[in-house]
Amino acid sequence: MPTSRSHRPVIVLVVVLTAAFAINLDTTIVNVALPALNRQLGAGTASLQWVVDGYNLAFAALVLAGGNLGDRWPPAPSPVARSWATSGGGRCSWRSSRSPSLP
């Protein structure tokens, strides 16, 4: 369903704010995991900074690549494609919650 031209800036704002929230949430999760990484791996401060920087760099590269692919491909043709993507993310988060390595 096409949206009217007056609603388009609101939709863009919501998408940008959601992406910024996801980036901040992911960075917070990595920062919360740092004490566990320090205990289990015996990593020093410099090593932990490399972990955070490497994660942010990889995340930014994937966000840029995903945006480029999203611009090239048309939207998902059916709700089946959306449910497939959603269930894949759900399965990944369920598997990671069962991991014994992090408290």
In a domain, 1, yes or no: no
Under-50 pLDDT residues of the chain: 102-103
In a domain, 4, yes or no: no
Question: Which of 33, 48, 42 lies closest to 102 in space, CA to CA?
Answer: 33
Q: What's the confidence (pLDDT) of residue 83?
A: 65
Per-residue model confidence as pLDDT tens digits over 52-65 = 899 889 988 888 88
- Residue whose token pair is 């401060």: 45
Q: What's the confidence (pLDDT) of residue 50?
A: 92
Give me the DSSP letters along 19-87.
HHHHHHHHHHHHHHHHHHHHHHH---HHHHHHHHHHHHHHHHHHHHHHHHHHHHSPPPSSHHHHHHHHH
In a domain, 92, yes or no: no
Q: What's the confidence (pLDDT) of residue 23?
A: 84
How many domains are there within the chain?
1
In a domain, 34, yes or no: yes
Interatomic CA distance for residues 60 and 82, integer angstroms: 23
**For residue 70, what are the domain limits?**
10-74
Q: What's the confidence (pLDDT) of residue 2?
A: 56
- Residue whose token pair is 């949206």: 3
Q: What's the confidence (pLDDT) of residue 32?
A: 92
